[in-house]
Structure 1
Amino acid sequence: MKLKVRYKFPPGEEYQEKIASEPAEEDKVEAKNWFKPLIIAIIAAIIVKSFIFEAFRIPSGSMEDTLLPGDFIIVSKLGFPVKTPKYLPFTRIEIPQIEVLPQIYSLKHGDVVVFKFPGEKNEVQASENVNYIKRLIGLPGDVVQIIDKVIYINGSRFLEPPSVKVNYEFITPRGLPNPYIFPEGSDFNEDNYGPITVPFKGMKIELNKENLKQWQIMIEREGHKVELADEKILIDGVEASDYVFEKNYVFVMGDNRNNSLDSRYWGFVPVDNIIGKASFIYWSWNSDIPFLNLPEKIKSIRWNRIGRKIK
């Protein structure tokens, strides 16, 4: 009696198909050869971006004529503190930060710095996670004052770089308060501001009903709850007549003095928020020209600005 054997595939075809579905040994080696350098490149890029430098684009004219819209700059992070992320990736959920490397660079008057925006005048936490670039005017402990658009630090005139734009044709007189100016309840305006002391870690201020508005937002930004109840000032539920700052701060301004939202409008910047110091311009063109008009975009390249050191 003969047995009939039925094959789903012709003899050998099933085996060949199985072999064909598995990558050849050469393919595995080739994939490994390019995968390893890719991982190394990604790690190197993360290290460079976190510890050495980062690229930024200038979106507005608040730093004219030092920086123009369409300038692309390199920001040096060398010497600045390195911390773990403040938020969970792709969320606004805050997580505890750990300082990986401490700050060793000494901030100087006139430094052009990139920093995380601390928030609007009445915001405890910024509604947007964005970076700003401004010139450092006041260091921790400095007394900042603006008289008829002229800046004074600790009583001495601040040395302005030649690229600063100031329009002296109209000056808002002292005593005419601007309601959009920081701090809340002051009689300051954008042209006549201060005197005001830039807070430093350990600085003690007296608190009363008259000046509470001025300092409340700063205290809340340091993580405390401030209340006024039954004529008493409460910080975290405890009656207080003074407050000691826990962080160092700086006062920053844009070089386009008449067209810059800066510390005059939203307050001091924690030193911890500073990402790095602007180093040089690596590319520049007219940001108003769309990429669809590529010939005009290329014509707008500002060759004389490329490679320029930022002062």
Structure 2
Amino acid sequence: MKKLKEIWANRKVRFTVVSILYVLWFVLWTQNLWWLLGLVVIYDYYFTRYIDKIYLNKYRAFKAKHRSAKMVLGWVEDLLYALVVVIPLKLYFFGMYVIPSSSMEHTLLIGDYIFVNRLHYGPKMPNTPLSFPFVQHTLPLTEDTPSWLDWIRYDYKRLWGYSTVKNDDVVVFNFPAGDTVALFQPNRTYYDLIREQGREAIYNQSKVIYRPVDKRENYIKRCVAIAGDSLQIKEGIVYINGKQQKDIPGIQYMYVVSTNGRQLGTMLFDEMGINTDDVQFNPNYNVYYIPLTEEMREKMTKVSEVTGVERYINYNKTSDAAFPHRPGLYPWNEDFYGPLWIPKAGVTITIDATNLPLYERIIKNYELNDLRMDGETIFINGKPTTEYTFKMDYYFMMGDNRHNSLDSRFWGFVPIDHVEGIASFIWLSITPGKSIFNGIRFNRIFNEIN
């Protein structure tokens, strides 16, 4: 040990080790040769100390002379140090998010704070590096002031990770349909509003803004189908490449719960872990519509007031809300959907007027081609074509709360350049409406997310 300390005391050894680690991380991993300039700073720190002599010593002398400014400058130093440490950790290694809705119940609950592993798929580099730290798209205390400047914009780039997106991963991603937002209803997709009210009506009553990929809302869903898969939903059950999706304990389906005329109390819902905001009651028929897991369904059948528990299935096979919003061509809904092939990078398909609605948003919005139709002829970048080769992988995401989730069934595919990371574990969980002092759900803390 003494010998190692003597070796490490040598400045040349320390410089060599630090430089190698720096090059491996900041140059090779990020694939950015500009980071080589940092070796000059490292060399100066260990040998020449020019930065100390020219700048830092003057700064220290200024603080010593102006004692009234010393405390303020100390706070600034601490803040800058925190930013220098935290921002790279958030950018390269992990993110932390809070679950705002019930779309992933019962796997994830409202008020769960989750740790997202960015290394798993490889960190996605920001498209807009000039932005206010730690906010998504809007400056604090404002309603519509963007948190970023678009003076510099980068194309999609992902660093090396140790895995790829797999079937049934719980994934955090930027909301694809969140590229355009009508500010008078920011929680609804611009494209739904256009279909309902028309473009002119939207622009007449609201400011409409565009958000780059990395500044779109963060969503969390389960990846039920990966690039190259064929997906179909029959009676609410997901089939991938003809095989039923594996059993996932947290998945909830909507059930019709009949009673003997007596109403079910909120105490029962709390005991069973049912989100009362998702419960609907029809007093005319004494029935409840309640999302339940299989375990919860079994418990519900044993409640004395309950006379029947039957899974709800939407047999109306046509829904304007279902992607690709062409019920005449694709009479799908949330329980009967597909078959649908998920695009894979490098694969060429035949396109025509029938299947173009499935992939036109990919061709035009995600892969930035000029797309138009003249009669039955499709033009891409000005050339008539009957084929298209995809540039990126795509995924189909669904919430575990199958009848209360805004997911790919309603807005389509998630491109790989929107994927942020994999949800890893819950590091804190607080019951909605309660404080950290009386609302912590200790049984959920550090639970792995599967």
Q: TM-score range by the shorter chain?
A: 0.7 to 0.9
Unaligned regions of 5+ residues in structure 1, if any?
A: 1-21
Unaligned regions of 5+ residues in structure 2, if any?
A: 1-61, 132-146, 178-188, 193-209, 256-310
1:184-199 superposed matches below 5 A: 184-185=325-326, 186-199=330-343
Cα distance in 2, alignment partners of residues 126 and 32 from structure 1 = 36
What corresponds to 1:277 in structure 2? 422
Superposed CA RMSD in Å reads 2.7
Q: Percent identity of the aligned residues?
A: 36
Q: 1:135 aligns with which of 222, 225, 234?
A: 222
Q: 1:43 aligns with which of 81, 84, 87?
A: 84
Cα distance in 1, alignment partners of residues 333 and 156 from structure 2 = 38
Cα distance in 1, alignment partners of residues 155 and 123 from structure 2 = 10
Please tell me the residue identity of whatever aligns with 2:410. Answer: Y
* Deviation for aligned residue 1:210: 2.2
1:1-311 superposed matches below 5 A: 24-25=64-65, 27=67, 36=77, 38-87=79-128, 88-89=130-131, 90-91=147-148, 93=150, 95-97=153-155, 99=157, 101-119=159-177, 122=191, 129-167=216-254, 169-173=311-315, 176-185=317-326, 186-221=330-365, 222-289=367-434, 298-311=437-450
Larger helix proportion, structure 1 or 2? 2
Secondary structure in 2 aligned to 1:160? coil
With structure 1 as the length reference, what TM-score do the two structures score?
0.81
* Deviation for aligned residue 1:172: 1.9
- How many residues are treated as equivalent by the alignment? 282
* Deviation for aligned residue 1:214: 2.4
Q: Please tell me whether the aligned partners of residues 121 and 266 of structure 1 are also in contact (alpha carbons under 8 angstroms).
A: no
Please tell me the residue identity of whatever aligns with 2:420. Answer: I
What corresponds to 2:51 in structure 1? none
Secondary structure in 1 aligned to 2:409? helix
* Deviation for aligned residue 1:34: 6.6
Please tell me the residue identity of whatever aligns with 1:106. Answer: T
With structure 2 as the length reference, what TM-score do the two structures score?
0.58
* Worse-superposed segment, 37-46 or 58-67: 37-46
**Which deviations, in whole Å up to 9, do the C-alpha atoms of 1:147-182 show, x marking residues without a partner?**
1111111111111311110135221237x2211111
Q: Please tell me whether the aligned partners of residues 127 and 156 of structure 2 are also in contact (alpha carbons under 8 angstroms).
A: no
**Which deviations, in whole Å up to 9, do the C-alpha atoms of 1:46-77 show, x marking residues without a partner?**
11101111110000000001111111111111
**Which deviations, in whole Å up to 9, do the C-alpha atoms of 1:243-286 show, x marking residues without a partner?**
11110011111000010011111111112211111111111112
Please tell me the residue identity of whatever aligns with 2:444. Answer: R
Please tell me the residue identity of whatever aligns with 1:275. Answer: E
Cα distance in 1, alignment partners of residues 77 and 149 from structure 2 = 33
Please tell me the residue identity of whatever aligns with 1:116. Answer: N
* Worse-superposed segment, 259-268 or 88-97: 88-97
**Which deviations, in whole Å up to 9, do the C-alpha atoms of 1:3-32 show, x marking residues without a partner?**
xxxxxxxxxxxxxxxxxxx86448488777
Cα distance in 2, alignment partners of residues 75 and 213 from structure 1 = 33
